[in-house]
Structure 1
Amino acid sequence: MSSIFYHSPRHRAATSSSPLNSNSRALYSFSISMMDETLSAAEEMIQKWNPEASTFAKFTSLFYESRREAKQFINTVMDLQRAMQFLASENSNSVELVRAQNLMQIAMKRLQKELYQILSTNRAHLDPESISGRSSVTSMEDRSRRTSASDFDVDEVGSVEFDEIQVVGDSISEVERVSALAMSDLKAIADCMISTGYGKECVQIYKMIRKSIVDEGLYRLGVERLNPRKVHKLDWDVLDIKIKSWLKAVKIAVKTLFTGERILCDYIFSSSDFIRESCFNEISRDGALMLFQFPELIAVKWKKKSHEKMFRSLDLYDSIANLWQDIESTFSSESTSIVRSQSLSSLIKLSESVRTMLSEFESTIQKDSRKSLVQGGGIHPLTTQTMGDLCLLADYTAPLSEILISTDDNDDVVRHRFAWLILVLLCKLDGKADRYKDAALSYLFLANNLNHVLTNVTKSNLNIILGDEWIAAHQEKLKLYTANYVRMGWNKVVSSLPTPGEDGEIRISVAEAKSCLERFNVAFEATYRLQASWVVPDSELRDEIKVSICKTIGPVYREFLDKFGGALFVDGVKSSLVRYDTGDLGNYISDLFYGTGVSGSSSSHSSGSTSTKRNSWSR
């Protein structure tokens, strides 16, 4: 019939002017007859579902009542459209054309009503989460087609076998089935309205309902519209809560809300690229811009940077960067390019903010002006704070690489930046160590703080970033600090005892031995009293230093007692000059580095620790 309806003007002229062309005249008469039948059939179907013609049509859904009849209604409208084209080509002022146009308007009102009802009643079945979970538009089309086919009688399906339909029906849930049917119906209505010139009316209804779903989804996710002035007035605690809320919302918004809407829009309006793109743009643009403007507002808000806020900036940057491929694919068209531009602008502002904060973080270390000495040579607050921040920063290797690589051609820029920041810290600690009047205590301070740095490095991602070579080099430096402490802190004790000659023998008189022992007692007690308030917070380092002290004093003192024991012990009784045997000294040394002062008792700490030191002394 379409071939009959689409005669060219030239063909019509030839038909009317040539009385000899009887076949053409017959064909023309036949087309007029078919036209009348088409209009009559269209009028019967369309008037049946005219909302203004009957109460039944007004309150009943065509697609809900009978999807088979809904399909017939769509086919009837398409036939009517072809008939109108034929009538317009014959006589644009004909009564039949006016009749057909009136029928078309009634049909479009019906379809608009159906479109609104399907969109409204299936909000739960057409939620973005369900839609975004489907792999592609192609799979949606396949499922929708099969589900739609299974909804009709077997006779209507034709080539689709009953068993196949049963399998399809069993393989999907009821929610998926209803969703697929709704999408199939919406697509059929959209295709019909667009092809008949009513695309604008179709899109208006679709946009109104689907935009409300997107806006409601963003509201439920906690995304709100903010402006620079409002953000500027927010306290940090309030702003931090909003940032955390945004970080939770952005992934769902992109991967579920916008992606689902993109897939649904592409499927329903697949017949028109222009309508598909413009429709999705108007539905999603405002919400997407509101979502991706927030990070830029935060970056601009922090004019006075602080490294505490640096982590939130990195969180915001990392979230957008991780979603960038989804953002590009979802907002790929020219009409939605403004969303991509806004996302990129936020990334740029955040990266600038992070770079500034890193510079100010370094400056904060360098400018630390605390002059008070840490009691007992313990760990400085600057070390604790700096390493705490660096360990947190180490969890942001990926975003930091992207942010820093843009300003440095070195592929290892992140490692160099971390190594440099730790170097700045260690240099600052060197300066603070010089304030200790006791050189041994300054080395103990450096050992404590470097050990704290190494502990944090090995227990965090800094271990991977800095590498084994860096760690090994600083472990050697730590050994040097502890060796210098032992050498300088216990030099007076060791030097009070005689030194063996080249033959390994101690060649002094008993009187000189007694004098040496007196000096040893004085030096040991003075050193012990001085260092009793010193601290080594790390238990492993504390044990290593104690072992080192024992190894430094123990062999020399033991050899001295072995050499002059006969003279210093009378009838097995220890002389008053021999205040300590090797076990006593080990017990005293085991009490060091807890910062408790002079305890006066070698039993102030665990027997396990004392036993360890006594064993170390005897080596």
Structure 2
Amino acid sequence: MPRKGMRSLFFSPKVSTSTDSSTSSSISYFPSPSRFGFSPSKPSFSESVMNRTLEMAEPIIMKWNPETTTFAKVTSLFYDNRKEAIVFIKWVKNLQKAMQLFITGNSSSEKLVRAQNLMQIAMKRLQKEFYQILSMNRAHLDPESVSTRSSSTSFLSSISDYGEEDDDEDTRIVNESITEVEDASSIAMADLKLIADCMISCGYAKECLKIYTIIRKSIVDEGIYKLGVEKFSASQVHKMDWNALELRINHWLNAVRTAVKTLFNGERILSDHVFASSDSIRESCFTVITKEGAIILFGFPENVAKNSKKSPEKVFRILDMYTGISNHWPEIDSIFSFDSTTNIKSQALTSLVRLGEYVRTALNAFESEIQKDSSKLHVAGAEIHILTTDVMNYLSILSDYSNILSDILADSPPPANNSVTESYFGFTDSDDSPAPPITRKIAWLILVLLCKLDAKARYYKDVSFSYLFLANNLQYVVEKVRTSNLKYLLGDEWLSKHDSKVQQFATNYERLGWSHVTNTLPEDPTAVRTPEQVKEIFKKFNSSFDQAYRKQSVCVVLDSKLRDAIKVRLARKIFRGYQKFYNAHGVAMQRDRNSAAVVRFAPEDVGHRLSDLFFGTVDSGSGSHSSFDPSSSHSRRP
């Protein structure tokens, strides 16, 4: 405050009783020293300031001394009279300024001791008020309320320097502030800031900080516990069965978002506001309050990753925890931006590293499990193997975490030979445009699966069954890729190449399973001249078709598109060829009593039997079947 302003505040003006200059000069605020018989000794400026300040500050400070009046013990200054609270703060600040001005040459003065006693009384009063506001407004100062109201707290900065204004201006500002924000949390925040500013400026920051950290730390610790996050030792996690550990992980997953966006964010906003006058104090305060809870929260994933068994079935929960930290990393980095909170961010990053290591190890274990699989074939039907469904279901879920896996697998080394990648993986992987690590990993796991299926297919005694088994399983793989996020990882080139392989397997099945039937029919039915030749052809067709039908009727093709495609091709080769031969010679053979029994099948009978294939069980006479894919539509006749 300018010196002129200080003088006008602490000194009364001279009073004149006459217009006569000689009279007015002898009558002033201070009596003439000659009347008392000692030499003039005018008070110094600092002494005058101290006198005036003690005169104004002592009544209001002593009024709220809880040790001298019952009223002060049971009443809250800020709750009872906010206007008087502002005046109280103002004169406490003025008292501190007067003491600083006066102390230079009067360190042992009785007035300085008196001022110091008043200051201690005032600080005890403010400590009491600070504690009451924090305690009585726990609900209004919960982190959720604070964080949601953070956008409307800018006005509170105007309630920081009331001591610099006159009483009327103080009242006006306070009333405007209360009108602008009517909710209790904002008012409580304003009062806390007012008290904190005063105590810090008067040298009582330590006392203020102690009260604040004790109360707010208990709120944060209680919040972490209520969110279901507890501190576990490494041995406790190691001994915990997966169901119990998964329950803890689920609690953590639900807790991390609330803790970051609400609990820690709210505490940061509150401490930044209350202790805005001191960067070092607000940093120290926030660190003390949140450090223990944050370390417990962000340390739990590392504990799980280091001390639980690395198994593929657990990897999705591990990825969920990785996502929980990485998705909230911008907020974590912003909230814990102080130098003293670096170890909290380091703990979160360490957990990410450990979780990534867990995922890579689990994926390697998954690959090993595919290679070591010893589950038996369903020999009869050449059906989709359970290994295929398990692996592809696993990979399709894994693809939902593609963004996270891209980060985790980013440092994976590329394959040594790109030609091998293109040949077996099913996509081009050039030096100029290499496939992402996650794409290579997924493609490699599918390749391991297909190699394992190829080995299992060799257990079929009938080679045609081997090819149908491979066609069935590869078709399942392709469809699983096409209908999941795997499509975006592997791409259209991969799908096209593996679609072609499915058709190659199906064609090989048709050739090996049915060619001996089609070979019994002549390409040109009219080229057969004698009845004996015709009869022999009918006999060979009946035998080969019957044999092939009985053998292939146990086969299952679950995919309706693949099933219909195979049937259409068989119909072109067998049904149409037999129909031409039957139309050319069937009627004549049936007229001959000796040859009529040779014609066992009408073309419609052949069509019905072909239509009933690939559903698993067929009655050889009736053509009934039990469908494995009841929702699919299929033609009864080719």
TM-score, normalising length: structure 2: 0.86
**1:20 match:** none
Selected match of 2:383 from 378, 381, 384: 378
Task: Pick which of 579-588 and 268-277 moved more.
Answer: 579-588
The DSSP-based 3-state class of the residue aligned with 2:636 is helix
Task: Using the TM superposition, give the Cα deviation of residue 145 of structure 1 relative to its aligned residue in structure 2, in angstroms.
Answer: 4.4
Q: 1:78 to 1:605 in 2, by over 3 A?
A: closer
For residues 27 and 521 of structure 1, the distance between their equivalents in structure 2, rounded to whole angstroms, comes to: 139
Task: Using the TM superposition, give the Cα deviation of residue 84 of structure 1 relative to its aligned residue in structure 2, in angstroms.
Answer: 1.1
Q: Does 1:217 align with 2:240?
A: no
Q: Does 1:315 align with 2:320?
A: yes
Task: Pick which of 531-540 and 270-279 moved more.
Answer: 531-540
**1:348 match:** 353
For residues 64 and 35 of structure 1, the distance between their equivalents in structure 2, rounded to whole angstroms, comes to: 30
- Letter paired with 2:212: Y
**1:17 match:** none
Task: Pick which of 270-279 and 534-543 moved more.
Answer: 534-543
**1:75 match:** 90
**2:243 match:** 237
Contact 2:618 2:625 in 1 (8 A): no
**2:604 match:** 583
Q: 1:592 to 1:419 in 2, by over 3 A?
A: same
- Letter paired with 1:583: E
Task: Using the TM superposition, give the Cα deviation of residue 574 of structure 1 relative to its aligned residue in structure 2, in angstroms.
Answer: 9.3
Task: Using the TM superposition, give the Cα deviation of residue 75 of structure 1 relative to its aligned residue in structure 2, in angstroms.
Answer: 0.5
Contact 2:83 2:171 in 1 (8 A): no
The Cα offsets for residues 237-284 of structure 1, whole Å up to 9 and x where unpaired, read as 100111111011011101110011011111111111110101000000
Contact 2:465 2:509 in 1 (8 A): yes
**2:110 match:** 95
Task: Pick which of 359-368 and 516-525 moved more.
Answer: 359-368
For residues 222 and 485 of structure 2, the distance between their equivalents in structure 1, rounded to whole angstroms, comes to: 40
Q: 1:94 to 1:477 in 2, by over 3 A?
A: same
- Letter paired with 1:311: F
**1:557 match:** 578
Task: Using the TM superposition, give the Cα deviation of residue 322 of structure 1 relative to its aligned residue in structure 2, in angstroms.
Answer: 0.9
Task: Using the TM superposition, give the Cα deviation of residue 292 of structure 1 relative to its aligned residue in structure 2, in angstroms.
Answer: 0.8
The Cα offsets for residues 177-236 of structure 1, whole Å up to 9 and x where unpaired, read as 211111111001001000100000000000011111101111110011111011111111
Unaligned runs of 5+ in 2: 8-39, 415-433
Selected match of 1:140 from 149, 153, 166: 153
Q: 1:508 to 1:418 in 2, by over 3 A?
A: farther
Contact 2:315 2:359 in 1 (8 A): yes
Counting aligned pairs with the same residue, the percent is 51
**1:46 match:** 61
Task: Using the TM superposition, give the Cα deviation of residue 4 of structure 1 relative to its aligned residue in structure 2, in angstroms.
Answer: 8.2
- Letter paired with 1:298: V
For residues 222 and 110 of structure 1, the distance between their equivalents in structure 2, rounded to whole angstroms, comes to: 38
Task: Using the TM superposition, give the Cα deviation of residue 530 of structure 1 relative to its aligned residue in structure 2, in angstroms.
Answer: 0.9
- Letter paired with 1:277: E
Task: Using the TM superposition, give the Cα deviation of residue 547 of structure 1 relative to its aligned residue in structure 2, in angstroms.
Answer: 2.1
**1:444 match:** 468
For residues 27 and 148 of structure 1, the distance between their equivalents in structure 2, rounded to whole angstroms, comes to: 33
Selected match of 1:480 from 504, 528, 538: 504
For residues 338 and 161 of structure 1, the distance between their equivalents in structure 2, rounded to whole angstroms, comes to: 41
Q: 1:610 to 1:3 in 2, by over 3 A?
A: closer
For residues 117 and 161 of structure 2, the distance between their equivalents in structure 1, rounded to whole angstroms, comes to: 31
Selected match of 1:395 from 383, 393, 400: 400
The Cα offsets for residues 534-560 of structure 1, whole Å up to 9 and x where unpaired, read as 111223322222222212212211111
**1:19 match:** none
- Letter paired with 2:387: L
For residues 389 and 167 of structure 2, the distance between their equivalents in structure 1, rounded to whole angstroms, comes to: 75
Task: Using the TM superposition, give the Cα deviation of residue 160 of structure 1 relative to its aligned residue in structure 2, in angstroms.
Answer: 7.3
Q: 1:307 to 1:469 in 2, by over 3 A?
A: same
Q: Does 1:455 align with 2:479?
A: yes
- Letter paired with 1:285: K
For residues 518 and 314 of structure 1, the distance between their equivalents in structure 2, rounded to whole angstroms, comes to: 64
Task: Using the TM superposition, give the Cα deviation of residue 419 of structure 1 relative to its aligned residue in structure 2, in angstroms.
Answer: 1.0
Selected match of 1:419 from 439, 443, 446: 443
**2:301 match:** 295
The DSSP-based 3-state class of the residue aligned with 2:398 is helix
For residues 375 and 381 of structure 2, the distance between their equivalents in structure 1, rounded to whole angstroms, comes to: 16
Contact 1:529 1:598 in 2 (8 A): no
For residues 259 and 77 of structure 2, the distance between their equivalents in structure 1, rounded to whole angstroms, comes to: 34
**2:515 match:** 491
- Letter paired with 1:85: Q
For residues 509 and 413 of structure 2, the distance between their equivalents in structure 1, rounded to whole angstroms, comes to: 40
Task: Using the TM superposition, give the Cα deviation of residue 569 of structure 1 relative to its aligned residue in structure 2, in angstroms.
Answer: 3.0
Q: Does 1:465 align with 2:489?
A: yes
Contact 1:148 1:180 in 2 (8 A): no
Contact 1:5 1:31 in 2 (8 A): no
Contact 1:397 1:414 in 2 (8 A): yes
Coordinate RMSD, CA, aligned: 3.0
For residues 4 and 455 of structure 2, the distance between their equivalents in structure 1, rounded to whole angstroms, comes to: 99
**1:32 match:** 47
For residues 255 and 608 of structure 2, the distance between their equivalents in structure 1, rounded to whole angstroms, comes to: 61
Task: Using the TM superposition, give the Cα deviation of residue 351 of structure 1 relative to its aligned residue in structure 2, in angstroms.
Answer: 0.8
Contact 2:553 2:618 in 1 (8 A): yes
For residues 230 and 632 of structure 2, the distance between their equivalents in structure 1, rounded to whole angstroms, comes to: 60
For residues 116 and 626 of structure 2, the distance between their equivalents in structure 1, rounded to whole angstroms, comes to: 102
Q: Does 1:274 align with 2:280?
A: yes
**2:339 match:** 334
Q: 1:3 to 1:202 in 2, by over 3 A?
A: same
1:115-154 alignment, distance < 5 Å: 115-134=130-149, 139-142=152-155, 145=158
The DSSP-based 3-state class of the residue aligned with 2:153 is helix
The DSSP-based 3-state class of the residue aligned with 1:224 is coil
Selected match of 1:325 from 327, 330, 338: 330
**1:524 match:** 545
Q: Does 1:538 align with 2:552?
A: no
Contact 2:89 2:198 in 1 (8 A): yes
Task: Pick which of 530-539 and 40-49 moved more.
Answer: 530-539
Task: Pick which of 528-537 and 232-241 moved more.
Answer: 528-537
For residues 572 and 28 of structure 1, the distance between their equivalents in structure 2, rounded to whole angstroms, comes to: 151
